[in-house]
Amino acid sequence: MIFNSILIANRGEIACRIIKTAKEMGIRSIAVYVDADKDALFVEEADQSVRLEDGGYLDGNQIINAAKEAGAQAIHPGYGFLSENASFARKVKKEGIVWVGPSANVISVMGDKLKAKDLAMKAEVPTLPMTSKPAEAKNIGYPLLIKAAAGGGGKGMRIVNSQKDLKESIISAQREAKNGFNDERIFIERYVEKSRHIEIQILGDKAGNVIHLGERECSIQRRHQKIIEESPSPRISKEIRNKMGEAAVKLAKMIKYESAGTVEFLFDDKTKEFWFLEVNTRLQVEHPVTEEVTGIDLVSEQLKIARGESIKFTQEEVEWNGWSIEARLYAEDPDNDFLPAIGTLIAFEQDERADARWDTGVTSGTKVGTDFDPMLAKVISYASNRTDAAMKLAKALESAHIGGVKTNRDFLINCLKSNAYIDGDTTTDFIERVNPDRKLILSEDQLDHVLAIAALWIQQKNRDESHVSKFMPSGWTNGRLPNRRNIFEYEGNEYIVEYKQNRNENFIFSSNKCATINSVDSNGIDMLFDNKRHYSKVTLSKNKILIHMPYGDVMLDIKPRFVIPGMEVTAGGLVAPMPGKVIDVKVKKGKKVKAGDTLVILEAMKMEHSIKASEDGTVSELLISLNDQVENGALLMIVK
């Protein structure tokens, strides 16, 4: 069926991505949005948008009604939300609207990982030992991996290293699976500690043709969610690729797969064995790396297949050229166990000179809350070889001006530049084994440079905004006055910056380092400091100043000259590391606890986060209750 209008039942960067291809194909794009997204980029880029009431992106009936009202002839679900909801797919087709994706039956079968494993075994695809009965877990052997039978994205997934942790991990995984997919079923399988996560991109059409577009490696993960992906894999040979591809195509043909999808495998470096994990019946977050190395627009292929066209190329005609790497930029704090972060992006600007693709749904001024996944953007590089692709991606991340919300940007850069990454030593234990720096580490000289830029940009801004004595040279006085003084805070430490200006217009700092301003404007400053010169973008927002350096951004708090004394931190206080909802309180007032015990479980951005005791003690005060909504830094309890 030919269609010329499409509703995107999703949000953020994937909605923007689908809109882009729809425009290129001459298809009218219709967005749906909730109030939290009313100013979002995807709403602005769509040809038309429809506001959703309560239920939002998970309310299938409301989305179908929106499609009818807007005259949408097709619905693209993106990924997440209702993309793997078989009931929703059936309703869409029942209403005479084209569904961009595989059939509801395939979604139903493949969305159930237990049924998918059964089909994989029938297709003679290797699978890992597993059970859905906790009592049989010991027969598999530890460590184990608990997985939700429905859904993905790391939700409902737990690694269990010993018998004593099994019960609590199952309860937590079931609860998270219930909240994420409305299905609390879990299963347990063998956990391969040092392996690679390899997935094969497939395309199938209504005529029964199925081909694969090679592999992606997605082994670098935190909280079982991928953060760096690439194509091809640095360790998969042509022979293994062919075997995996043949297995994926065989399984896809067995289930009569249509549209784009992914067959995921686990690969062991040592034995060269691979095992089936699951089939994702949707577009993947990391699909751009496949697009870059094959030159095939996967969204375009989805839309063509949905309107009944056959795949226009054969397996033999698929070519893989060069290397592509994708990094997922998240609003999170890697230095605090990668917990989600919230706030307002005071700057979000890519460097147009950097050779990289940015798939994003945010801009400067976007508010990042707790309602949705904290991914801000996918940044994708392409080069003729892997090393160049890694360096180009690191450079693109470094050269972007981003701040206001904590992100994993510096951590991603450190991963990409590590020797282990460059050598292709990227098994699933990469983060724990390599342990790249989780934040930007500044030398004393670098920090002096940043502080000097902040101080001189502020003094120039104040001078430009002054309404008196503008004719006088900056810093001129006919008497002896103290040095100029600014106070900044960085990483919890306070820094006093003192400087004076000479008659030759040089600035001398208390560190005896010299600076000269070459040019300055409202957006930044070109300054020579200690014989080092570059132009720094500068963004000021209330009491925060964001300085862009050649190696990334540094955020400083501007401290007032006179500080009103604040409350002291409560001794023994356990505070919330992020805003969220209290979904479980494990202790009562007066209970003795040991270091490492789980005290509270918070839910934020659809994921559970366990707050544990840092030392032995007794709960002397309990300040929260079940279902409380708490802010970042809120006092939860006192343990002494």
The C-alpha angle 80, 430, 281, rounded to 5 degrees, equals: 25
The CA-atom distances, in angstroms, between 306 and each of 2, 46, 100, 206 are 9, 20, 5, 8
Respond yes or no: is residue 282 known to be catalytic. Answer: yes
Length of the chain in residues, anyone?
Answer: 640
Q: Cα separation of 122 and 250, whole Å?
A: 11
The C-alpha angle 633, 628, 604, rounded to 5 degrees, equals: 65
What is the crossing angle of helices 113-122 and 104-111, to 10°? Answer: 100
Q: Give the CA radius of gyration of the chain.
A: 27
Q: Cα separation of 467 and 471, whole Å?
A: 10
Tokens of 175: 């609860």
Q: Are 538 and 545 in contact (CB under 8 A)?
A: yes
Q: Are 73 and 7 in contact (CB under 8 A)?
A: no
- The catalytically annotated residue of 282, 357, 386, 409 is 282
Task: Classify strands 343-344 and 367-368 as parallel, antiparallel or unpaired.
Answer: antiparallel
| Per-position DSSP letters for 466-530, written without gaps between them | --S-TTSPTT--SS--PPEEEEEEETTEEEEEEEEE-TTS-EEETTS-EEEEEEEETTEEEEEET
Tokens of 545: 């100043």
Q: Cα separation of 464 and 466, whole Å?
A: 6
Q: Cα separation of 56 and 77, whole Å?
A: 13
Q: Is the peptide bond before 232 cis (omega within 30 degrees of 0)?
A: yes
List 188's β-bridge partners, or say none.
Answer: 131, 146
Q: Are 498 and 561 in contact (CB under 8 A)?
A: no
| Per-position DSSP letters for 331-399, written without gaps between them | SEEGGGTTEE--EE-SEEE--TTS--EEEES--TT-EE-SSS--EEEEEEEEESSHHHHHHHHHHHHHH
Smallest CA-to-CA distance from 447 within 486, 409, 491, 404 is with 491
Name the residues annotated as catalytic. 282
